[in-house]
A and B are shown apart, each in its own frame.
Chain A
């Protein structure tokens, strides 16, 4: 019983910061010390106008997150297989190396990359931002996929091959269906990481790539609290979808366990 009460308290505290955001997004001039504001839909209708840049930011975030997730999958799948299914000299070192971009501050790297991106004409473009987002999506993707593969029995593949299946057929009919749930978790993770990314976009986007976190950051500093709250809630949309999915997928402990075994 005490256990349950303690848990409910913890969950309540975790929820707490969302409460003022929710109220503020429907509030009109909620001055101190009012406990209940004057309700309005004004913030949400401002959100939909083009001047709020939210629509554009939403779209850019979506494109960037989708492309960087796709690219991370492309390099993460083979790497995850290697790390999950085989043992080889230098495995620990490779894992640690792949993790470096998320444990070492990317600031110096970003300023170095920016130097090249300017010369390539990629600074302040969507492609440039996608490229640096790989710095954080690839490590997470590889780790998640490596533990997905660690729980994958490659004997199924051997059996299918011995029964005459081609390697393409094996991939399509055996491997992909078996690893699909874990791949979904990895992809969701990578998508969210890119969607939530602020610093990388901030440095490489040069103020021209304006993803949703950039819109939120600008709004936070401008002082229109109601609109800021509405933007903040809007940027939670993929996270909510993620939670919806993850109620099943995060139970997939094998996928998340990868992060606990660095």
Chain B
């Protein structure tokens, strides 16, 4: 009898020491969102993994096989695609980040009309942007016509190839055009939360404007920059329609390669498509982890730290 009661109080105390006992209403509120994401995203990933190694699927016999991964990793086009995807994602994110920090600083002291106008491309579908950029920058596009009528070029042959080109210039232009307003919006919100006294104090102590920007504003802006560039990098790396319609036919980016394998008439290619998709997810996950680790030291602690202050 006494054994059970000590036992019960032991479990009782153990329960009270867990985070769950104190925070269960909070965790309960999070449960629906976390559960939906876990089932859809996590479940989807697991099912994809099962198919990629042949455990489940339409065309295979349920025997474990790593053939799809072997085929992917040994193909030259995969490595070319990975390179291209990384190149586009890194260049587009870097350009967008630098430009939006600049634009946010410009907008900080400009009127509201300017902030509003700069948000113009934010709610625009990517496909509309793609169509607009094709009609603007292609050799027979609007800019080429204007240059021709001004006599700057003699024919459309003289106009540089800016869309469907080998260096993905069109793709990069589209992403910068679309993502700079998005990042600027986030950075502006962060900037408005920074107390102006900090900058004033630095100036009063003799800091030059650029020193004030570099040593005061930029460090305070860093969490916003990290979050925003993270979202943009992840998005650009996994984007399909932009490189599909604005990029060169070869090499293709990884998502385009996935699409091509997925819609192949040979159903065996589906396993390859899924293996490719998983490699794509895994690559962006590891890059994000490295980035967060480099960027903020303790990314998972930030909220707790701030609230403790």
| Residues of A that sit less than 8 Å from B by CB | 3-4, 6-7, 10-11, 13-21, 23-24, 32-35, 74-76, 78-79, 81-83, 86-113, 115-116, 131-132, 134-135, 138-139, 142, 192, 195-196, 198-199, 202-203, 213, 216-217, 220, 225, 228-229, 232-233, 235-236, 238-239, 242-243, 246-247, 250-251, 253-254, 256-257, 259-262
Contact = CB atoms under 8 A, between A and B. Distances in A.
B43 A112 contact: yes
B143 to A, nearest CB: 8
Contact of A87 (B43, B131, B258, B304): B304
Contact of A257 (B126, B141, B190, B273): B190
Interface of B: 19, 22-23, 26-30, 32-34, 36-38, 40-41, 43-51, 56-57, 103, 106-107, 109-110, 112, 114, 116-121, 123-136, 140-142, 144-146, 148-149, 156, 177, 181, 185-190, 192-193, 223-224, 226-228, 230-231, 233-235, 237-241, 245, 254-255, 258, 262, 270, 273-274, 277-278, 280-281, 284-285, 288, 299-304, 307
Contacts of A251: 112
B304 A20 contact: no
Contact of B40 (A11, A88, A101, A104): A101
- Mostly, the B contact residues are helix
B285 A89 contact: no
A170 B164 CA distance: 57
A95 B306 CA distance: 15
Contacts of A139: 37
B231 A262 contact: yes
B295 to A, nearest CB: 11
Nearest to B109: A3
B307 A21 contact: no
A90 B23 CA distance: 11
Given A103-B235, A105-B238, A260-B227, A239 B123 contact: yes
Q: List 7 tightest A-B contacts by C-beta distance, closest first.
A: A105-B238, A17-B132, A103-B234, A112-B48, A108-B277, A109-B44, A112-B47
Contact of B30 (A34, A82, A229): A82
B77 to A, nearest CB: 17
B116 A247 contact: yes
Contacts of B32: 74-75, 78-79
Contacts of B224: 260-261
Given A112-B44, A213-B127, 18 more contacts: A3-B106, A4-B110, A13-B177, A14-B117, A17-B135, A21-B132, A33-B149, A76-B33, A94-B30, A95-B303, A102-B235, A104-B281, A104-B288, A108-B45, A115-B51, A256-B189, A259-B186, A261-B190
A138 B33 contact: yes
B41 A216 contact: no
Given A199-B240, A259-B186, A21 B26 contact: no
B285 A104 contact: yes
Contacts of B190: 257, 260-261
B136 A86 contact: no
B241 A103 contact: no
A108 B40 contact: no
Contacts of A112: 43-51, 274
A132 B40 contact: yes
13 contacts: A3-B109, A14-B120, A23-B142, A78-B33, A88-B26, A91-B303, A108-B274, A115-B48, A134-B36, A199-B241, A213-B125, A235-B125, A260-B186
